[in-house]
Chains A and B, each alone.
Chain A
Amino acid sequence: MKRLARLSLAAAVALVAAGAAHAHHSFAVFFNPEKSVKVTGKVTSFRFTNPHGTVALTVTKPDGKIEEWRAETNAPVILSRRGWTRDSIKAGQTITISGWPSRDGRNYLRLMEARDANGKLIGTAPFGRQDQS
């Protein structure tokens, strides 16, 4: 509840602030290019819409603890040029994702690549910093 209240306050502040900013957010501001993160888990959802797609995963740690992770992809207009479709990842599928971690320490990353349970790359090529869209 406290978190919801904090989010509501942030939304309220955003509404009354100048209408200047936009939310196709900056890679440089949100993600740490000097670090990398890789997790394997079971997909709970996959969204394939702009400005960014998202993959949600349930990750079981070696100690049995469950973590929820999300990966943000490039804009699907970019993904679609690399062989991705809205069916590239399905709920219930086990995948391994790697990328750049969120600077704020959330279980959130910017996707560099995703591989299926057999280690096969999803799409035709991984994504680099030069694809920061």
Chain B
Amino acid sequence: MRFMFAAALALAVTVPAAAEDVPDLTGFWNAPVQAFDMPADLEAKLPPDTVVIADSGAAEFPRGVFGGLKLTPQAAARAETWRAEDDMTLTRACLPPSIVYSVQGPFPFEIHQAPGLLVFRYEYYDQVRLIHTDGRGHPPADAPHSKMGHSVGHWEGNELVVDTTHLASSTITNNGLDHSDDIRMIERYRLTPDGKALEASQWFEDDATLENNGARYIRWGRGNDYVRPYECDPSFALEYQGVIAQDAD
């Protein structure tokens, strides 16, 4: 894996993105702390029966709120019995979420772009994502699934369209709603006209957990910083466990 990432980065720095005559998304993109409405033209490209959920950036849904997503009975039952504190253990404290949730999280990321490949390097849990734009397809359905999944991309005008499959089950809204291994996600990335921000629509379907489809709109401002090491330390869970309950609110 380390070799693959190194090879990808080497490719990214040795071949200029301009060779493909497509927008260059390279750069450091600040954490998306502010929420915005999805532009009408991006929303018009969403498939039918899709709800745009408003939990991008700083916003978060409390327990039992899913922003208009319609849960299957099984997913609803799971969310109902979910106990947040069960995740605060040594074995779980450093499990990264999948890109379905973390794409909108309040952490920066950087993009390295080359012909045939983009590398998205996220600060959140030190995750790295490869977006293949060389025309390849997805691997067979039984290929390994991961938190970043397998992504292929193509350009439609000034928009990078990314299709992601092979995602390992993880949270959608960080409050007990989890997607299955069969979720599919489509994102559309583009620069704002002034080039000062990167914006994206994120759409996902998952028949095992959702009776409709979900979408988000995310905007990252262009920054001048570095992705910092996350190096998650699971002993945080022991700190949380080390306090005694008094009176619940």
Interface on A for B, CB 8 Å cutoff?
3, 7, 10-11, 13-15, 17-30, 32, 35, 47, 49-52, 54, 56, 68-70, 72, 75, 77-78, 80-81, 101-108, 129-133
Contacts and interface: CB of A to CB of B under 8 A. Distances in A.
Contacts of A80: 228
Contact of A24 (B97, B233, B245): B97
B213 interface: no
Given A22-B96, A28-B62, A133-B31, A51 B84 contact: no
Contact of A21 (B34, B82, B244): B82
Contacts of A133: 31, 105-107
B239 A47 contact: yes
Contacts of B236: 47, 49, 51-52, 54
A77 B123 contact: yes
A109 to B, nearest CB: 10
Nearest to B172: A20
Contacts, number: 165
Contacts of A104: 85, 245, 248-249
Q: Is the interface of A mostly helix, strand, loop or mixed?
A: mixed
Contacts of A101: 249
A43 to B, nearest CB: 13
A29 B175 contact: yes
16 contacts: A13-B86, A14-B91, A14-B92, A17-B86, A18-B78, A23-B95, A23-B237, A25-B174, A26-B84, A32-B249, A49-B236, A56-B242, A70-B239, A72-B239, A107-B246, A130-B33
Nearest to A13: B86
List the 6 closest pairs (A to B, CB-CB), nearest first. Answer: A20-B178, A49-B233, A28-B60, A130-B58, A23-B87, A105-B248
Contacts of A14: 86-87, 89, 91-92
B87 A70 contact: no
B61 A22 contact: no
